Chains A and B, each alone.
Chain A
């Protein structure tokens, strides 16, 4: 009974946003802006409310019963291949549903203020609702193919929203790049699904994970390694990891609330969700786990190093997102799925806050995004400043703010169950994080104002509908960490049904296993706090105490500075390696192969037939003298033949 009513509620969670999309998409143009925003925010609000109902319903049940599935209808069925349209609720999916609808709601409300002057108001909210629906589908689906639709559909929404101001070439370029780079990742994801089907004869989560945890596949099985690696290729695309991260910084062309919702809090964490969801499979492949952890750690450091020198407020945050996602993958890669998901949650709080904060700054400065033209804003926009400060402190890892506990847990686990290299890389990245975030804070809000005069005149704090979401998120960023405070284990207990299955696969001799930080958490806390404070101190020295220092350093280490500023020239390298050769080959195929070789021979055949026939025509001129001549020639020929024959 409980189950039945609950599953109907789950369908409602999905229904509201898609209804919002339909209404705003079809008639939004004719509605008043106010109505449009009520519909959009209302639908997400109802979704959120329903999600909390389901969540509390779930809490009432004993932990091992917290899993429901509901088959809506059979979607694609061909022979033994069956893909259902079915929903699944368990602690992991409901947690993400709460994030998506909760933070989604705040960002919807914020958008009312941020987008109020835009002509595409209804289009914006239509896309935003569609995104919410797609993202919910991604986490609530009960099989791999449904995850794949959600996966590509959020990609589509991302495409539409990055290119929202499509008249700007840079925006439409960035949108296209995001879609195509993600497609490269999806190529791996799709192949992974096919291999899952070939191996397990089903793509249903429950059945696949059940079959995998029965011990039919030894640890290190080649097939499972291939499956997990292919799925991970998809994750590197969606979650912007090396080598497919290049689209995310460009994605900042979209409206800032979009960056907060899609490119920080929800969509980009889909890869982490995927790996956490498939933890049973991943635990069977130490090789894949090593790859995931190494890519994660490398991305964390790499992106953080680029973030050190960027001057665009949103780009700093974008590289920071890439880097933080790297942490999550590092956690998953060492088997600390809970830590990964925990960081996903706290990151959603503070990164959404930081992006919305940056949006408020940009809004106040009439669109200015270059930190070199900011400074001293803290007195002009105090609410934005205070909330931004909380976000910065949270991401830098200062106790007791949210980011501290989750990042600390990752550092701890990477040392306990990974190795010293993972830990040191993550620690250096953590130092960088503290530095670049405070650099950003100082450059934006402290020091002397470098704001241009005409912009200064319009300087204003954002309206209530923008500041209230900031305040709520600041609250969450302050206390969110207590979900996973060492000793209490709220988060890990709640998620344990999802991750316990892979615990049974623990095989003696295999190094990896599922666990919940049991090293020496208190020493690690001290160390990581010290690292963060060091980063902040350096930033303080460079940007408050001696503002002339950065310039000197940049000249001193010009090569390094230029490489970092130009993002290691990765975009240029990709263009040279992939984009240009593809275009050249394509032109070659068209101009040479198609036109000259194939069509050349086709027309050549036609021409040679024509030539042959036109010569053959001389045999039939209609003149008697010609025919007489041929007869004589023929006779002579026969006589000669006969003579020779003798």
Chain B
């Protein structure tokens, strides 16, 4: 690989930003087309990452390493493995869709598109960084365009929402930054070398107490970002006020930075403490699942409903990560992608309704299927994907997470499964009130069915919803080796590998006994 593919993907949007800067801000159509073109190109050049990805190694791939600030040992060090691969693809996939969904934005188009493209660079940057300092730079960089997107192009309470979002996230990041600096010095003490390289950090042998404080610091940053209950209240506000594209990116990609952080930092760096925290985090996740679903049930604003459903869905992701086994973690990664697709699509759909009626209140709709049947089909498919209907994408992730959790702790899985029932309740009730029954509002009688542009936006997502649901192995096989390696790392360091209870031979099974925890990386033989 001679071409610096990852750098290209990361920084091409910034080149797009410079191009747009040269343009006249009155030339809106040109600006829109340019940003669409740039983000689409980025998506297409990110595809080789998937096709050329070597799923037989857990080593980082497409690695690039340059010295950046040598005096501090800071490097421009990027690369991906089977865990970050899909999140990058998710980001590059959702960006052109978001740009296309912003066609109707007329206020400061130039600045808007600059923010969108900067956001893409920051998102991809977070997922490719292997240098903790670089990671932090991208992590913070992402805040600025998002802050502006909500604060300038948002709804009536945009200032409150965007400041809340910004402060909340920064409050968490401060601790994370301290912890990164801490790791830097701990690493120096151990190896006599100044570096921020994450892979070097992985080799550190930290005492439980040190792990504990560092874990707490990272935990705060990531838990706010996910967001886990009870750190979630910035999310509904941010979503409600954000423009459609902002919500799509926020839910689709930004939230995954939190869950990704847990997998990339907390688990391999602080395995013992992470292990000790399983009950705490699992219960937070479970409360999030049920609580988010219940609160979603009684929302009368569509966007708030989807926002609270995100809290519920990301509870599943967290639960799977802390199941500490391959099904749980692979399920979580799949679920991150799925949530990005289905919740992203839900926000797009709510946005389309808003463009037509300038309201998001459920009570203002009703009976729309009669007027806009094609739109209704897409809405139905996305709703079912969000509910986790088998055959569509949502099911695969949720089911693997639950299998993984069930293997480690039956009680957790049993309670969490009830969240699936609640998901059906709030989504179908919402769908019924918006799309079914008779049309009660005069305004809804004149609605236009789905436009060509909207079709272009939704068809790729719906295609992936089916594809992942029917052939999820196309994702799972790429992540096997990396996830197994992660589990080995945890196991070796924390010395908490438990026995694989009669994995192969059911005859040796004792009945009446259900295996307790097992952190087993199930290495694959051949496939």
Contact = CB atoms under 8 A, between A and B. Distances in A.
Given A187-B417, A198-B515, 9 more contacts: A148-B390, A153-B390, A156-B389, A159-B428, A167-B438, A172-B437, A187-B418, A201-B503, A223-B514
Contacts of B438: 167, 169
Contacts of B369: 166
A221 B511 contact: yes
Contacts of B425: 180, 183
16 contacts: A77-B527, A80-B503, A156-B389, A163-B436, A169-B437, A173-B432, A176-B428, A180-B421, A180-B424, A183-B425, A197-B403, A211-B507, A216-B507, A217-B511, A590-B298, A602-B168
Contacts of B403: 78, 81, 194, 197
Contacts of B327: 78-79, 81
A179 B325 CA distance: 32
Interface stretch (A30-38, A299-307, A421-429, A580-588): A580-588
A169 B417 CA distance: 30
Candidate in B168, B230, B370, B384 with the most chain A CB atoms within 10 angstroms: B230
Instruction: Give the secondary structure class of A's interface.
Output: helix
Interface in B363-384: 367, 369-370, 384
Interface in A163-186: 163, 166-169, 172-173, 175-176, 179-180, 183-184, 186
Candidate in A166, A586, A602 with the most chain B CB atoms within 10 angstroms: A586
Contact of B233 (A79, A200, A599): A599
Contacts of B326: 78-79
B448 to A, nearest CB: 17
A199 interface: yes
A75 B477 CA distance: 11
Given A79-B325, A198-B514, A598-B230, A153 B436 contact: no
Interface string B458-473: 0000000000001111
B62 to A, nearest CB: 25
A127 B252 CA distance: 31
A211 B509 CA distance: 10
A23 interface: no
Given A79-B325, A180-B424, A191 B476 contact: no
B400 interface: yes
Contact of B413 (A148, A191, A224): A191
Interface residues of A, number: 63
Contacts of A598: 230, 232-233
Contacts of B436: 163, 166-167, 172
Interface string B400-433: 1011001100000110011011001100110010
Interface of A: 73-81, 145, 148-149, 152-153, 156, 159, 163, 166-169, 172-173, 175-176, 179-180, 183-184, 186-187, 190-191, 194-195, 197-202, 211, 214, 216-218, 221-224, 582-583, 585-587, 589-590, 593-594, 598-599, 602, 606
B48 interface: no
A594 B295 contact: yes
A173 B433 CA distance: 10
B402 A194 contact: yes
B437 A167 contact: yes
B295 A183 contact: no
Nearest to B406: A194
Contacts of A167: 367, 370, 436-438
Contacts of A183: 420-421, 424-425
B330 interface: yes
A585 B294 CA distance: 8
Contacts of B299: 590
A200 B506 contact: yes
